Structure 1
């Protein structure tokens, strides 16, 4: 397995933030209706959102006033509907495109998402590698500089998933990683405990941990590279994005309208949470105007790039089969329990390597070795018959059991905009009912709806590999 294979496989399964959805308009032959675009200046009523939005806001809402990202004022000026999310005021959608239009725009062109609410970390020092390899099941020692892997922070003892994250090696003993906004307090407490224990055994200078106050935006869609490439300042191999593959990053400057370069370089990583080709761009805030300058560069051509919010982000990630922490994965699941065994690198399963000592390894490795004996349920995808979608919390039952015994639960679900409103969902079913083609029932509004177990993703991922 190559160093980045876990990321290449895994980015189609994990991720971080979710919102509501609605069915895409269809024409008589069932194909998706052509996208009717409005100019950015046009104002339209914002669509109503149902249970998924209420579930999400309830999960991450705080009694404290919502924080603002560095781009808050831009969102308001651009007609965003702002909602409380993971302790931040975040854009749900914008006035120029409906949710479905924004979703389809991302699949066909390029969208820009503000993800500055996510937590950016830097861990460095002689103990950084050892600490991260204790709290994750990844072979971080196999990563080259500027390479990434998708991973999980694991609870000690149980192996439960504390959070999912993307980790980038930036040097011999330096790592950059991003964790979920909705798990900010839990992650910080978890990392603080682990780091203090390590320092206690190895010295205060063994690890340096920083929370980076950068803005973070995600440029996603088939036009992402062609939009970004002309903005790269300079020339040569480093400036050529055709040599930057999925799961890799570079530190580059962008060119401002006057021909000068940005005040500081940006960390540009080829990754994302939509299934499309794209980039996540970490923007320093030492120069306070830099985030706005960068976003203005991307939005200079509205025929190619539009802003997109949480609503489109959720439907895009689910079509790509990516998990939402708090819904599809929690500390109640280990990676094998969540059908995510691939995050456990092969050499971390082999006792002969000496690398099998990580949080929860005894539990996780036994589950990988004997899943039928150790796992009671599996995470799978479903298509659900026409009608109201199966949302988070919907009960899954055995169609062959007249008593309708519960055999699982839906964790995410919505009508797929890319598939003409087809109802898709993911969830957990008991061991033995997880094979593709298995028919089950889902309780939706007190009615049993037929569903079939299917493979994921529903929409093929388009990650760029040179």
Structure 2
């Protein structure tokens, strides 16, 4: 996703904006929203570590939320999105992609929460939400309604090994399977408790009405004090997801990058009769893509950043870093990069870090192993 608003376009704010200000958050534009990057009192490393070792609380209300409902609603989605919705049932969630029909590039990656054959909730990325809903609505058959709930809902993420303790403390249900969800009540607030997340840790995402967001946030903060809960911004969310090798739209995947190139073929229902971009992607898969998204692990003290050139050890250009950061867990630089297909796992490459070629090894993410599915 894009992390900048269009010039002159006012940034949207979360229903929790005042809570972020009170916590001394450093605010930054992201996908057209003003969101906390990090909080006073320790910054990204402290927040990252809290999620890996205890529990972190994120406001991710910039993510889109929408409902698609009516006769044939799920069948319609299945004919557009790459993954096979027949693989899941009511109460389950699925990671999927919306691709361009002509180019096969990724318009967005999103999660579908399936209620039943006539109702599903979509959670697309902030900057892409309007375009996703436009495409879903434009091709919808008569009787299928697409409702944009972006401004009406808030999304909170409780992530880390003590996440279930915190939710249990406030009376929310826990322990359901990875990529599933249940509907619950918290002091009169309706909460969709989703066993999903973007950190690689055991965790939950809570979808609530915007009007209930502050009350739910406050309850989680109060309950989490005994478990080391730390409010976390998008800076820690980025380092956590990079350690897992999770792609970010607008960097690792985009309209110029296909699921085949991004090694996301596992999220494609290749045997489905149709989905947007199927013909292009099937052809690319058969022909083999010219580039692939790979992981890079620093062998020296160097921090990779998006846009840095990757070369062989003799200086031949072979790709570009798409995401890169310092891993607080490993104390090393880690990156995702689009590399020429000829570059293999365990090959040494050089990343141009401030004009110097620094040694990295090509590897397969995740860089950090967790028990996210536990």
Cα distance in 1 for partners of 2:98, 2:326 equals 31
Q: Distance in 1 between matches of 2:70 and 2:99?
A: 21
Report whether the alignment pairs 1:210 with 2:132: no
Residue aligned with 2:335, SS: strand
Q: Aligned equivalents of 1:190 and 1:389: distance in 2?
A: 38
Structure 2: distance between partners of 1:78 and 1:247: 31
5+ residue gaps, structure 2: none
- Structure index of larger Rg: 1
Contact between 1:334 and 1:364, CA under 8 Å: does it hold in 2?
Answer: yes
1:451 corresponds in structure 2 to 360
| 1: CA distance, partners of 2:352 / 2:138 | 42
Aligned residues: 370
One of 278, 300, 316 as aligned partner of 1:405: 316
In structure 2, distance between residues paired with 1:172 and 1:307: 37
**CA distance in 2 between partners of 1:246 and 1:412 (Å):** 26
TM-score of the pair, normalised by structure 1:
0.76
Deviations 1:395-451, CA, capped at 9 Å, x for gaps: 111223xxx33210000111100012x011111111110x21111111111111121
Q: TM-score, normalised by structure 2?
A: 0.94
Query: Counterpart of 1:187?
Result: 132
Tell me, in whole angstroms, the C-alpha distance in 2 between the residues paired with 1:231 and 1:249: 17
Kindly indicate whether residue 180 of structure 2 is the aligned counterpart of residue 248 of structure 1.
yes
In structure 2, what is the Cα distance between the partners aligned to 1:153 and 1:62? 27
1:211 CA displacement: 1.3
Query: What is the match of residue 244 of structure 2?
Result: 320
User: RMSD over aligned Cα, in angstroms?
Assistant: 1.7
Distance 2:326 2:282 in 1: 36
Pick from 302, 321, 325 the counterpart of residue 225 of structure 2.
302
Contact 1:219 1:278 in 2 (8 A): yes
Q: Select 1:282's aligned residue among 195, 203, 207.
A: 207
In structure 1, what is the Cα distance between the partners aligned to 2:185 and 2:126?
Answer: 27
2:326 matches 1:415: yes
Pairs within 5 Å for 1:123-272: 123-195=68-140, 199=141, 203=142, 205=143, 207-212=144-149, 213-232=152-171, 239=173, 241-242=174-175, 244-254=176-186, 262-272=187-197
Q: Verify: 1:391 aligned to 2:330, yes or no.
A: no
2:73–2:117: 8 Å Cα contact kept in structure 1? no
Deviation at 1:80, TM superposition (A): 0.9
Q: Which of the residues 253, 271, 275 maps onto 1:358?
A: 275
State whether structure 2 residue 198 is matched by structure 1 residue 273.
Answer: yes
How many angstroms does 1:253 deviate by?
A: 1.2
Q: Matches of 2:362 and 2:162 in 1, distance apart?
A: 33
- Deviation readout 1:314-353 (Å, 9 max, x if unpaired): 10010011111000000112211211110113xxx33xxx
Whether the 8 Å CA contact 2:166–2:220 is kept in 1: the answer is yes
Q: 1:258-308: per-residue Cα shift (whole Å, max 9, x none)? A: xxxx223210000100000000000113xx2x2111111111143421210
> 1:384: Cα distance to partner?
2.1
Query: Following the alignment from structure 2 to structure 1, what is the Cα–Cα distance between the partners of residues 302 and 6?
Result: 26
1:440 and 2:349 equivalent? yes
Identify which of structures 1 and 2 has the higher relative contact order when contacts are C-alpha pairs closer than 8 Å and 6+ apart: 1
**CA distances 1:65-99 after superposition (whole Å, capped 9, x unpaired):** 21111000111111111112211111111112221
Query: How far did residue 219 of structure 1 move?
Result: 0.4
Answer yes or no: is the 8 Å Cα contact 1:135–1:359 preserved in 2. Answer: yes
Aligned-partner Cα distance in 2 for 1:99–1:387: 19
Asked if 1 retains the 8 angstrom alpha-carbon contact of 2:137 and 2:146, the reply is: no
**Separation of aligned partners in 2, 1:119 and 1:448:** 40
CA drift at 1:363:
1.9
The CA distance in 1 between the partners of 2:28 and 2:257, in whole Å, is 29
Match of 1:258 in 2: none
Residue-by-residue CA offset, 1:377-409 (whole Å, 9 max, x unaligned):
010000123233121000111223xxx332100
What is the aligned partner in structure 1 of residue 341 from structure 2?
431
Quote how far apart the aligned CAs of 1:157 are: 2.5
Q: Pick the structure with more strand per residue.
A: 2
